[in-house]
Chains A and B, each alone.
Chain A
Amino acid sequence: MAPILSFEDVWVEYGEKVVLERVSLSIAEGEFVSVVGPSGAGKSTFLRLVLGQEGPSRGRVLLDGTPLAPECSPDRGVVFQRYSVFPHLTALQNVMFGLECAGSFLLARLFGASRKAARDEAAQMLEAVGLGHSLDAYPAQLSGGMQQRLAIAQALVKRPRVLLLDEPFGALDPGIRLDMHELVGGLWKEHGLTIMMVTHDINEAFKLGTRVLAFDKRRHDPHAPNRYGATAVYDVKLDRKAKEAGPPAELVAG
């Protein structure tokens, strides 16, 4: 099967500073890729490449075989750690936003039957993430976990090819985090999603992922710390056995 995403010798450089170097890998449809690594190792840059917030300095990033333009588009959905939802819209309006943008170019608002259809679809999606009872609540009235549920529903309603999660549970309490793991794991299976999740939590990465990518610098020049960039130093597909064994010692230590 052709990969959904592939990186061909990708470099990201800011002037003298090399952030990513020689990243070559591909991601198949249906994978749940966890991206881990120390701070400053290019995890977020890697995600921003896929998101289209920036383009590679060298190499190519392909989505379904086509090079990505350095611009965000609806085939890649995203959930950030914070500020993912619009504070001035209710939960329902937040989810309907994507449908309204597609349906009405000039006003980004739907009316009549198409509005009703979008409303029903959005309500259904909110039901699926467990927010069926708070359709008319503003984000400020929702807890942190519920806001992240909303952000996920908002992204999924566009049926993105790839769902990107940027430390989505980083700001949540441990208990809520477990609930969210269950939700994301369930949605991933149910909708056959392809997910890429950046996380600080190694255990979370192994628990949810079918594949773990660890970014770090392979080479290090103590006199010029920016001379070399990070790359995927660890790339493992997790079968059941590897999952049960948990994260290897060298990653936990890092």
Chain B
Amino acid sequence: MRLVNIRPAKGSRILIGAIPIILLLVVYAVLSAARVEANPNDKVLPTFLAMARAAMRLFTATDPRTGDVTAWADTTASLWRLAMGVGIATLATLLLGIALGVVPLVRAALGPLVTIIAVIPPIAVLPILFIALGLGEASKIALIAVGIAPFMIRDLAGHVAGLPAEQFVKAQTLGASTWQLTLRVALPQALPRLIDSLRLSMGPAWVFLISAEAIASDVGLGYRIFLVRRYLSMDIILPYVAWISLLAILTDWILLTISRRAFPWAHGGGH
């Protein structure tokens, strides 16, 4: 049988998917055990036990200086910045993306501007944001929003403009005004796509968040990682990376579930 025709069954697929992950963990365990045996003070490849101890301390012990549990303070600070940045970007996308997609006049007026803004690397704008908005929360939130909004706006505008012209004609023959067809035809069909592009943008959003936190912050997941890097504290960095990944997976799952529940017609049309 040809390789392209071999399709694993559902049960074995999970098993096949788990093998590389387990393999990676085993290889890491072996390597770290070897290093720790050679040098008990090795910091580069900490054992899982050492990481668990460090994580335990970060997630339960109160920092005497701030009075907070470090990991939770970092998590809430980062998630708040992320939510604000992504929220602003989503709102901007909803308003601008749909307007660009539905109204040719808006597309003619603002399309070139959005295209120009989209090609600017957001990190290059970070100094401007720091200068204009200060080193506080606003500049970090702004970086996330500025970083992901242009892509999302262009994606949504393209999607809305690409809806079959027949639908817009039909809506008009049913008496819909520009506002009514925006509200009842364009908007509902834009929402599942908006969630899709939001899911794709979460990766870059995290990158911008961690970059901003690494450069100027006093709390946050990215701040912590870059802080302890100075002491080669891989036992903190690795659990933090795993924690960030877990948060990212969880966010993605929540967005997908919302989309499936709210827009069954967009996911294969079934109830």
Contacts and interface: CB of A to CB of B under 8 A. Distances in A.
A102 interface: yes
B174 A140 contact: no
Nearest to B166: A83
A193 to B, nearest CB: 15
Interface of A: 51, 53, 71-74, 76-78, 80, 82-89, 97-98, 100-102, 105-109, 138-141, 151, 154-155, 158, 160
Contacts of B167: 83-84, 86
B169 interface: yes
Contact of B269 (A78, A80, A138): A138
Contacts, number: 88
B268 to A, nearest CB: 7
Interface stretch (B31-39, B175-183, B227-235): B175-183
A19 to B, nearest CB: 18
Contact of A101 (B175, B263, B269, B270): B175
B185 A51 contact: no
B173 A51 contact: yes
A90 B200 CA distance: 29
A86 to B, nearest CB: 6
Nearest to B185: A86
A88 B189 contact: yes
Given A51-B169, A74-B175, A78-B173, A83 B183 contact: no
Interface residues of B, number: 26
Contacts of A83: 164, 166-167
13 contacts: A71-B172, A72-B173, A80-B166, A80-B170, A83-B167, A86-B167, A88-B189, A88-B263, A101-B177, A101-B184, A138-B269, A151-B170, A155-B170
Given A140-B268, A140-B269, A74 B174 contact: yes
A73 B189 CA distance: 23
Contacts of B170: 78, 80, 84-86, 151, 154-155
Contact of B189 (A71, A87, A106): A87
Contacts of B270: 141
B164 to A, nearest CB: 4
Contacts of B173: 51, 72-74, 76-78, 155, 158, 160
B80 interface: no
Contacts of B255: none
Given A71-B172, A88-B188, A102-B175, A138 B265 contact: yes
Contacts of A74: 173-175
B169 A140 contact: no
B174 A97 contact: yes
A72 B169 contact: yes
A53 B169 contact: yes
Contacts of B169: 51, 53, 72, 78, 80
Contacts of A98: 174-175
Contacts of B189: 86-88
Interface string B238-271: 0000000000000000000000000111101110
